[in-house]
Amino acid sequence: MLGVSSSLIDVTERFQAEARAARAQERLALLAEATARIGTTLDLQRTAEELIEAVIPRFADFATVDLLEPVLRGEEPAALQPDKSVQVRAVAVGEAYESGLTRAADAVGVTSEYEANRVYTQCLRSGRPLLRARVDEDVLRGLVPDSERVAPGVAAGVHSYLMVPVLARGMVLGGAEFVRTRNPEPYTAADVALAEELVARAALAIDNARLYRRERETALTLQRSLLPQEIHRTLGLEIAHRYLPSSLVSEVGGDWFDVVPLSCGRVALVVGDVMGHGIRAAATMGQLRTVARTLATLDLAPEQVLTRLDETAGAIGEGQFATCVCLVYDPVERTCTVSSAGHLPPVRIAADGSATVVELPPGLPLGIGGAAFESVEFTLPMGATVALYTDGLIERRGHDLDEGIELLCRTLAARSRTLEESADAVLGTLVAEGTDDDIAMILARALPVPAERMATLHLPADGPLPSQARRFTRATLQNWGLTVHGDFAELMVSELVTNALLHADAPRRLRLFRDDRMLTVEVADAGGQPPRLRPSAEEDEGGRGMHLVSELAHRWGSRNTREGKVVWAEIELPYRAG
């Protein structure tokens, strides 16, 4: 009998050893599988869901992951205070069977506040796991946040409970709970070690996602603050614009657009794309946009704007490259002058819906240096539209850029849409599934300039030109109801015409233009030399004309034309002219 008993003991011990080895092997397999599937993205919620998917049903029948509110905002959580409650939000919940626990637990997205003396809060504060190997109704009552959840827990058969704080880099990010209902084995110390290892791997991925989210929000805030906050209404041009950040968590780029009002209703449209992503790309974008706006307001031609912008990009830092397209629209002549620095070509849509790509000399990207840029001029007839965009709009994996441009043309060719509807249709068609890159887009449609907004006087080759210009100005402003500005306007017109007579070929044209903000007077002549302010002595008979214009005008300037130049000056209107 003694020998039989000894043999039974040996067999039992062997079976137990094999069972322990099998369980250890199973834990190792679970750990290896979980390591491969946890942290595949930089998304907080998805990482928590991956942890749930890894443990159900092999390790737990029911599991939840809750994170502290500051973590979800991308902030660094403060140390938990002994006498303060904590706010956590459920980010992932899962169960192996229809036990009803999911309905009893906090739903995903719901925030709960746990009092300082609750077991859950104490576990988070200590940073150590909480094990309740055997759970009955009394134990369950101490675990759940309110008594209404006790009955569903008992009905579901909860018999073992384990909670592990989500810890990363010495910070408590939240908590993970594991519950067994149908699995008859209670949690053991070995299970605690396995759960700590699983949660630690998820915690590191969650904290990385938090840091990336914070960086993304910082870059987005910087980028959006550097984009135009308001687009002024432009006579003769309807504008719709869109900016869409990348759908990837960390891929904030350097795409930008700008609408720069110029003299006499002209407007510069600029779209650019800084190569690279992150805060540095957004900061570079801000510098280039600011410089481009400044250059455009100096009445430089688009190719000159890009030449100076290229110098700026080269001075920002090594490896800071960008593409850019600059277009200047004149609503009076209805002409577009456009130049490109390695950017995608504009698309022109006629009033009948036919769409074509504007052929441009491609140019080199900004920052390479030494590039020679050229401009192309084309007419934008009444009702026609031009589209400027970045590559994020048309570039897709597995598709050529030409396919994206063709789809853009087909989408914009649809008629009977407002410009805003066309912009929405473009995004809905080309960006239906998100984008790996930022998107910036401007749509501009040519509108008629109301006749009462502009008046033109062609100046003869001889005669008392200054007096003719003054009379024309006085009569025009009376018709416009702007006689209060008549004295200043007449004086500026007289000085500009006289300056053209003295220092350039005879003036050819006087034009008055008004929008909601400015009254502009411009004098065109055949001379190529721009006027400049020069010092004059007391005994000099002349030389003070442009000084007088500079004092009276809100701003003034000149721009070159094919026939010579135009000198203009603006008077700010303190009220909205009708």
Quote the pLDDT of residue 250: 46
What is the pLDDT averaged over residues 186-198?
Answer: 91
pLDDT above 90: percentage of residues in the chain: 34
pLDDT score of 537: 44
Question: Is the peptide bond prior to 57 cis by the omega test (within 30 degrees of 0)?
Answer: yes
- pLDDT confidence bin for 380, thresholds 50/70/90: very high
Confidence of residue 249 (pLDDT cuts 50, 70, 90): very low
Which two three-digit tokens encode residue 424?
């929405």
From residue 59, alpha-carbon distances to 26, 64, 72, 180, 361 in Å are 10, 13, 27, 8, 64
Contacts of 139 (CB under 8 A, 6+ apart): 132, 161
| CA 214 vs CA 44, 108, 208, 436: distances in Å | 12, 22, 10, 19
pLDDT: which is higher, 354 or 215: 354
Round the average pLDDT of the chain to a whole number and report it. Answer: 84
Half-sphere exposure of 280 (CA within 13 A, CB side): 11
Other beta carbons less than 10 A from residue 199's beta carbon: 27
**pLDDT on residue 496:** 87
* Mean predicted confidence (pLDDT) in 551-558: 87
Q: Where are the alpha helices (DSSP H) in 227-327?
A: 279-297, 302-316
- Residue 577 above 60 pLDDT? no
pLDDT at position 434 is: 65
Query: Which of 287-301, 453-467, 529-543 is the least confident region?
Result: 529-543
Tokens of 12: 């039992």
Which of the residue ranges 248-257, 273-282, 361-370, 532-541 would you say has the lowest mean pLDDT?
A: 532-541
Between 483 and 537, residue with greater pLDDT: 483
Q: Which of 137-146, 241-250, 479-488, 507-516 has the lowest mean pLDDT?
A: 241-250
Residue with more model confidence, 282 or 226: 282
Helix count (H) and strand count (E) of the chain? 15, 21
Position 364 scores a pLDDT of 92
The stretch 52-68 carries a mean pLDDT of 91
Average of per-residue pLDDT across 24-28 = 67
Q: What is the mean pLDDT of residues 57-62?
A: 90
Burial 161-187 (b: 16+ CB within 10 A, else e): bbbbbbbbeebbbbbbbbbbbebeebb
What are 446's strand-pairing partners? 237
> CA dihedral defined by 216, 217, 220, 222, rounded to 10 degrees?
-110
Alpha carbon distance, N-terminus to C-terminus of the chain: 116
Lowest mean pLDDT among 1-10, 340-349, 493-502: 1-10
CA pair distance 234, 257, nearest whole angstrom: 16
How many CA atoms within 13 Å lie on the side-chain side of 496? Answer: 37
d(CA 79, CA 171): 7
